[in-house]
Amino acid sequence: MKSIKFVLAGILFGIIMSKSEAISWYRIQEMFRFQSFHMYGLMGTAVVAGSIAVFIIKKFNINDYTGKLIVFQDKEKSFLRYIIGGTIFGLGWALTGACPGPMFVNVGYGYFGMLIVIFGALVGTYLYGVVKDKLPH
């Protein structure tokens, strides 16, 4: 049960991403062309509902299932790394139609070309690790 719950959560995530069509290259194009509310509604609902949940968890000091207080880590304060890194990410996102979660879901769906995208993403991650200290953060 210790590990299986994460697999089950992942299965649910994979089904949600597939059935909402968020793993679709076409839907991502539709989003970047502002021609449908679908992806905005999806992310908007997730963020609003999630924010309420996070607010309640903080307000009432709710514990996780082991009894430990749920803590939230603040992201490191900076501007450059987020705007530059985010832009590079976005360039690839619109090209492949997949961010990291949907890459994996798509492989399961039968789009084996996503394995190339995942391989590329691993190479990109490795390259970042190599040049990290030379980049503005």
Partner 1 sequence: MLELLKQPWPWYTSGAAIAFILVLLLYFGKSFGVSSNLRTICTIAGAGKKVKFFDFDWKTQKWNLLFIFGAVLGGVISSTLLKSDQPLQLSAATIADLKGIGIAFDGNLNPSQLYSFDAILSIKGLLILLIGGVLVGFGARYAGGCTSGHAISGLTNMQVPSLIAVIGFFIGGLATTYLILPQLF
Residues 16 to 45: which contact partner 1 by CB under 8 A?
Answer: 16-33, 35-39, 41-45
Q: Which is nearer to partner 1, 60 or 112 (CB)?
A: 112
The helix or strand, by DSSP H or E, that contains position 9, with its residue range, turns out to be helix 4-19
47 binds partner 1 (CB under 8 A): yes
| Footprint on residues 82-101 left by partner 1 (CB under 8 A) | 82-101
Query: 3-class DSSP state for residue 70?
Result: coil
How much of the chain is in helix, strand and coil states, percent to nearest 5?
Answer: 70, 0, 30
Residue 1 engages partner 1 in binding (rule: CB under 8 A): no
In angstroms, give the least distance from the CB of 68 to partner 1.
6
| Residue 40 main-chain phi, psi, to 5 deg | -70, -40
- Nearest distance from residue 135's CB to partner 1, in Å? 7
Paired residues of 63 in beta bridges: 69
Interface with partner 1 includes 66 (CB under 8 A)?
yes
- How many Å apart are CA 40 and CA 19, to the nearest integer? 16
| Residue of the chain from 1, 60, 74, 134 that contacts partner 1 (CB under 8 A) | 74
